[in-house]
């Protein structure tokens, strides 16, 4: 009787193996990705992100590092990296999310700093213009000063 069970187990194992093999054959094969193209796309994206981040401070970068120029350089670098076995885990490796956050937030921070700097300079210039107005524009006496000692509000042109 144990021989019959062993034979049944053997038949079941063969059937299970046949089913697994049939499933493996039926499953679509994973598309082959060109490692040079994949790495070139990553290098290009990183380079374009750096250019976008630095362009507010260094505007000439946008005219030098055009998308076609960056793509050609990235492809050339990727071919060398694949040939030598460098950057097999990708350019950004395990820090991809952090680097992408910097690429997105960096240009915003630089643009914000420039905008705030311009706003402060404009406010300083406006304050300097207001102080330069002659004293003759201010009223010498007003009912508010005579009646209760309150300082009147004097509006000066901006």
The verdict on residue 62 lying in a domain is yes
Output the CA–CA distances (angstroms, integers) from residue 50 to 41, 46, 71, 95, 101, in the order listed: 14, 6, 14, 15, 12
| pLDDT over 50 (residue 142) | no
52's tokens: 């976008």
Helix-helix angle 35-54:96-131, to 10 degrees: 10
- Domains: count for the chain: 1
- What average pLDDT score do residues 89-114 get? 83
The verdict on residue 1 lying in a domain is no
Answer for the pair 111, 52: CB distance below 8 angstroms, yes or no: no
Indicate the pLDDT class of residue 145, thresholds 50, 70 and 90. Answer: very low
The verdict on residue 44 lying in a domain is yes
Range of the domain at 39: 32-114
The verdict on residue 104 lying in a domain is yes
The verdict on residue 142 lying in a domain is no
pTM (predicted TM-score)? 0.49
Indicate the pLDDT class of residue 9, thresholds 50, 70 and 90. Answer: confident
26's tokens: 């039926």
What is the tens place of the pLDDT at every residue in 12-33?
A: 777 666 666 656 666 666 778 8
What is the tens place of the pLDDT at every residue in 46-61?
A: 899 889 878 888 999 9
């Amino acid at each position: 009787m144990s021989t019959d069970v062993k034979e049944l187990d053997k038949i079941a194992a063969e059937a299970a193996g046949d089913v697994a093999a049939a499933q493996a054959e039926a499953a679509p094969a994973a598309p082959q990705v060109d490692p040079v193209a994949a790495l070139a796309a990553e290098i290009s994206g990183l380079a374009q992100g750096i250019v976008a981040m630095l362009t507010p401070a260094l505007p000439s970068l946008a005219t030098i590092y055009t998308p076609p120029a960056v793509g050609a350089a990235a492809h050339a670098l990727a071919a060398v990296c694949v040939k030598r076995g460098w950057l097999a885990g990708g350019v950004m490796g395990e820090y991809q999310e952090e680097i992408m956050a910097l690429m997105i937030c960096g240009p915003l921070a630089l643009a914000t700093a420039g905008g705030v700097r311009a706003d402060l300079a404009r406010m300083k210039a406006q304050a300097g213009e207001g102080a330069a107005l002659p004293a003759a524009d201010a009223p010498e006496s007003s009912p508010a000063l005579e009646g209760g000692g309150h300082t009147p509000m004097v509006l000066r042109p901006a």
